[in-house]
Structure 1
C-alpha cells in the first residue's frame, strides 16, 4: 500500500503515540495494582467489578495488539495479520467507539497496518458521545445554580462535588477524538484514539477505585448489632444564627 508523504508522517506519529498509550496503561497498572487487589480482588464479588475488570484488562490487551500492528517493529506483519486486525476492531468496535471499523491494509515501507479510507461513521459516533457529555454538564450546572446557597462561591464547590471537572476531562478527550475524524486525513484516523482511549481508561478506573474506597470505608464503619432492642439515631443540624 502506497501512501502520500503526509500520510506516512501521520503513520509514524501514530506509531509513537501508540507506544505512549501502552506505556501509560502499563505504568498505571503498576501504580494502582495494590489498590486494585485491596478494593476489588479482596472484596465480595458482584457483576459490576467483574465488568469493570473485563473492560480494563480487555482495553489493555487491545492496546497491545493495536500498537503491535501499527508499530512497524516486526517484519512478520502481513496482509493476513491486517485482515485479523480488521476482524478484531470490527468486533471490539461494538464495545468502544475508540475502535474503528474499516479495511486496514499492509504498508511495505513501515511494516505496519494502515487505514486507506477514513470511516465517516466515526464523526457521528464521536459527536453523539460528545453531545451527551455536554448535555450532562449543562444539567449539572443548572442543578448547581438552582441549589440553595449562602454565597455564589458555593456554585463552584457544588460543581466540584458533583464531578463536573471529571466530566470536563472526558469531554475534552472525546473532542480530541472528534477533531481528527472531521478535519484530518485518512492516516489521522488512528492518531488520537489510542492515547485518548488510554487516558479515558485510566481516569475511569481511578474513579471506580475511589468509589470502591468509599464503599469499603463505609462498610468498616458499621457493626452488626445483636441482642439489643434499642436503636439510637443521631443527626447533626447546622444552624445559621445571623
Structure 2
C-alpha cells in the first residue's frame, strides 16, 4: 500500500513538473519568436540554420505530444518512443553547440577534431546507455488507472550513465570556451566575467545544474522506480529553452 501511495504521488509530481517545463518552453518561444524571425530566418542556408529550426519546433511538438501521450495506455511504446526522440534532440543540440564553438575558435582544425571526438564519444555512450536502459525498464512499465498515467516498477542503474555521458562533451565545451575567452584580445575595461557570459559560459552552467538534477533523481529512482520520469520532460524542455536563448544570443552578437 505504501508503494502504491508513493507511486501515485510520484506520478502526480511527474505530470506537474512536465507541465511546468512545457509551459516555460512555449512561453519562451512566444517571447523569442520575433528574434528568430529577424535573426535566423534571413540567414543563408546552412546546416546550423536548419538544425536550429528543426530542433526548436521538433522539441515543442514532441513535448506537446507527450502532454497528451503521458496518459496514453500504450506505455511500452510511449517510453521507447520518448527515449529515442529525446536522444535525437540531444544529438541535434550538441551539433549546434559544436558549430558555435568552432566559430568561436575561427574554425581551427585542431579544435574541430577535438570537439567532434568528444561529441561522438559522449553521444555514442549515451545512445548505448539509453538503449540498455529502455530494454531494462520497458518490461516494468505499466498503466496505472489510479494515477491515470504510465508508471515504472523496475529501475535501471544504467540510467545514471544516460544523464552523465553528455556531461563529458559539455565539460569539454565549457573548458574550450574558457580558454577561448582567455585567448582572445580584450579591451582593458572589459571584465572577464562579462566576456565569459557572452561566450556562453552561463549556458553550460545552467545545463550542468539541470544534468545534476536529473542525476540526483535517477539515483533516487534506483530505490523508487516511480520517480524515473520525474525530471525527464522538465529537464528536456528547460535544456532546449536555455539552448535556444543562447543560440539566439550568439547570432545577435554575430550581427552586431
TM-score, normalised to structure 1's length? 0.72
Deviation by residue 1:110-169 (Cα, 9 ceiling, x = unmatched): 221222222322211212223443454456556767889999x95535533443222211
Residue 50 of structure 2 corresponds to residue 50 of structure 1: yes
Deviation by residue 1:167-226 (Cα, 9 ceiling, x = unmatched): 2111111111111111232121111122221111111111111222233x35xxxxxxxx
Give the Cα separation in 1 of the matches to 2:34 and 2:184: 39
Give the Cα separation in 1 of the matches to 2:84 and 2:180: 39
Relative CO higher for 1 or 2, CA cutoff 8 Å, sep ≥ 6? 2
Query: Compared with structure 1, are the counterparts of its residues 207 and 3 closer, same or farther at alpha carbon in structure 2 (3 Å cutoff)?
Result: same
1:119 corresponds to = 156
Give the Cα separation in 1 of the matches to 2:195 and 2:149: 48
Deviation at 1:12, TM superposition (A): 0.7
More helix by share: 2
Query: Compared with structure 1, are the counterparts of its residues 40 and 159 closer, same or farther at alpha carbon in structure 2 (3 Å cutoff)?
Result: closer
Give the Cα separation in 2 of the matches to 1:145 and 1:26: 36
1:201 corresponds to = 240
2:61 corresponds to = 61
- Would the aligned equivalents of 1:21 and 1:194 in 2 still touch at CA under 8 Å? yes
Residue correspondence of structure 1 range 46-125 to structure 2 within 5 A: 46-70=46-70, 72=71, 77-78=72-73, 81-95=74-88, 96=90, 101=134, 102-103=137-138, 104-125=141-162
**Cα root mean square deviation, aligned:** 3.1
Bigger Rg, structure 1 or 2: 1
Counterpart pick for 2:230 among 188, 191, 198: 191
Residue correspondence of structure 1 range 214-233 to structure 2 within 5 A: 214-215=253-254, 217=255
Query: Compared with structure 1, are the counterparts of its residues 125 and 214 closer, same or farther at alpha carbon in structure 2 (3 Å cutoff)?
Result: same
Give the Cα separation in 2 of the matches to 1:164 and 1:86: 33
Structure 2: gaps spanning 5 or more residues: 91-125
2:167 corresponds to = 130
Aligned pair count?
208
Give the Cα separation in 2 of the matches to 1:169 and 1:214: 20
Give the Cα separation in 2 of the matches to 1:3 and 1:137: 41
Structure 1 counterpart SS, 2:214? helix
Structure 1: gaps spanning 5 or more residues: 219-242
- Would the aligned equivalents of 1:130 and 1:175 in 2 still touch at CA under 8 Å? no
